[in-house]
Amino acid sequence: MPKKEEEFNAEEVIEEFEYVTKNAEAVQKETLRRILEANASAEYLQSLGLNGRTDPVIFKACVPVVTHKELEPYIQRIIDGDDAACILTGKPITTISLSSGTTQGKPKFVPWNDELFDTTMQIYQTSFAFRKRHFPINNGKVLSFIYASRQFKTKGGLIAGTATTNLFRDPRYKTSMKAIQSQHCSPDEVILFSSDFQQSLYCHLLCGLISREHVQVVSSTFAHSLVHAFRFFEQVWEELCTDIREGVLTSRITDPSIRAAMANLLVEPNQESASSIHDKCAGLSDWYGLIPQLFPNTKFVYGIMTGSMEPYLKKLRHYAGEVPLVTADYGSSEGWIGANVNPRVAPESATYAVLPQIGYFEFIPMEKKIDDDGDGNRDGGDPQTVGLMEVKVGEEYEIVITNPAGLYRYRLGDVVKVMGFHNSTPELKFVRRASLLLSVNIDKNTEKDLQLAVEAATELLAEDKLEVVDFTSHVDLSTEPGHYVIFWEINGVDDNEASDELLSKCCDRLDESFVDAGYKSARKVKCIGPLELRVLRKGTFQKILQHFLGLGGAVSQYKTPRCIGPANSVVLQILSENVVKS
């Protein structure tokens, strides 16, 4: 169980982590027993003939490996308020979490309960304890760019919201977090109550500037949100200085609850602070080192920086200067997996130690000699899994999770690589989503392959001091043969700063940088057409973000979709309508 606030002690948390990771096999069996005993009466488990048994071998024999699609009918019954016996869990589910929805085009609904809250706190406390060893924080504040969206009631009367919203709005969250982090710069109203996240973002920045000498950590859920925040700062810094100078909040903030909360912070004009901030910003030619300039006592910048967040690291390092970047923990809307217990390691090399007490974990080997299509299934049957301690260093696996909230042998869709072990628990590196990203013929290019190709091509832009704000891709099968389409939003593109000649070179570099043998050979024999680079109007990715927020998503969970498939037809339309060069 997570430590209560008055009991929290970092060294005790680390000691407990060392104990459970040394005894991972026994802890995994106990975790499965605890989950299955608590949910023995669930209709789903009863229908599979488990009959209250908790042995791992019998569990695997009775319960199939599933995707969200197989559990969707059960979850829908819960959402609709089915009056039958508890469907997936022993106790009724009262809260539903929404995934970001960026992969499939719409959010998934996932059961949430008190036990998942507890596992969240266990992860947070574990990683915090290790960060405290390396980055002691002394009575400072945290500038956190976090946002909660609105919760709503389902047909059956359940509370529903994004996973981060359910967490931030849980009354226990604030109490639990007091023990493991310094005070937020921003009042609750800025985090919880704005219907317009841009208003919240502006106020987060203003709150940070008001407390700038006390800020010791700058954080957000994802690296994307941090980069977005400081890109926005570049546009509004003079307005922020005016607010501080005059002691009056700008009229752009219209939310009454936020205006009232901010009035308690902007109690009087501060000419000296406004002038200092103005001088520092005016003296930065390209915004390098902006974060330590604004917040001189910052110890580190914190957020999820691996996987789909890696493309933002270059820009985030530019803003952070010499301040270390520390990647946060590894989890999903369906549950947590591991903690970053080596916070000094660069995000690109970060690994996550699995906490064996927060869920029951299995792994599908991604072995081509067994599975030619890469989905882990042998001969079309149930995929073969190995246990937490049976994984091998250097091998890749898809994660299968059993959590306390009704997901049993659930394919998470993430592929990880085992980099080593911490005691007897594996340390994982996120590799990619299991579903292939780009494929026309025999080619198989992943999100990481796309990222590397974009990085190689953007080196050509750097010579003209241009940069890609964001990117995505699409496989166009409307022509014969099909081909890859890469979408870029480039800073300054409205001024035609990127010449056609330069963009043509970038397009060639993108095509050359996909090293997959299947892609290379299919291009040579013209089974795949020439790659197409489409440049987007400034603000296009902001429109895509707004689209997902309109579906009920939250900024704190947003990830730019890197491959736009048929399920994301609205996003594809937004992209198509905003192409300025091709």
Spatial distance between the Cα atoms of 393 and 81, rounded to a whole number of angstroms: 45
Q: What is the DSSP string of 513-548?
A: H---HHHHHHHHTTSSPPPEEEEEPTTHHHHHHHHH
CA dist list (Å): 213 to 184, 244, 353: 14, 14, 34
Spatial distance between the Cα atoms of 92 and 398, rounded to a whole number of angstroms: 30
Contact 582, 486 (CB under 8 A): no
Spell out the domain ranges in the chain.
13-112, 136-323, 437-581
| b/e map 502-533, b = 16+ CB within 10 Å | bbeebbebbbebbebebbeebbeeebbbebbb
Backbone φ and ψ of 216, nearest 5°: -115, -15
Residue 417: strand pairing partners: 396, 429
Spatial distance between the Cα atoms of 505 and 511, rounded to a whole number of angstroms: 10
Helices (H), 135-187: 163-169, 171-178
- Of 376, 47, 382, the C-alpha closest to 39 is 47
Quote the tokens at residue 319: 């803003």
Quote the tokens at residue 35: 């989950």
Contact 222, 309 (CB under 8 A): yes
Burial class (CB in 10 A: 0-12, 13-18, 19+), 410: buried
Give the strands of the sheet with 532-536, arranged side by side. 468-476, 483-490, 532-536, 579-581
Contact 487, 572 (CB under 8 A): no
Quote the tokens at residue 22: 């040394």
Burial class (CB in 10 A: 0-12, 13-18, 19+), 330: buried
- pLDDT by residue for the chain (582 residues), tens only, comes to 555 445 568 899 999 999 999 999 999 999 999 999 999 999 999 999 998 999 999 999 999 999 999 999 999 998 988 866 689 999 888 888 887 665 665 678 899 888 888 898 899 899 999 998 899 887 789 999 988 777 788 888 888 877 777 777 777 877 776 666 668 888 888 887 666 788 899 999 999 999 999 999 999 989 999 999 999 999 999 999 999 999 999 999 998 889 999 999 988 999 999 999 999 999 888 899 999 999 999 999 999 999 889 999 999 999 999 999 999 999 888 889 999 999 999 999 999 999 999 999 999 998 753 344 444 444 456 799 999 999 999 999 999 999 999 999 999 999 999 999 999 999 999 988 877 678 888 888 888 899 999 999 988 888 788 889 999 999 999 888 999 999 999 986 455 567 889 899 989 999 999 988 889 988 998 899 999 999 999 989 989 888 887 777 677 677 888 888 877 888 899 999 999 989
329 phi-psi bin (left φ>0, alpha ψ -120 to 50, beta other)? beta
Spatial distance between the Cα atoms of 438 and 445, rounded to a whole number of angstroms: 5
Spatial distance between the Cα atoms of 39 and 73, rounded to a whole number of angstroms: 18
Helices (H), 55-213: 56-62, 68-79, 114-134, 163-169, 171-178, 188-192, 197-210
Quote the tokens at residue 165: 């919203």
Query: DSSP state, 331?
Result: E
pLDDT at 378: 44
What would you measure as the largest C-alpha separation in the chain, in angstroms? 72
SS3 364: strand
CA dist list (Å): 175 to 6, 85, 452, 454, 486: 10, 33, 42, 43, 45
CA angle 177, 158, 34 (to 5 degrees): 60
SS3 436: coil
- Of 561, 560, 555, the C-alpha closest to 164 is 555
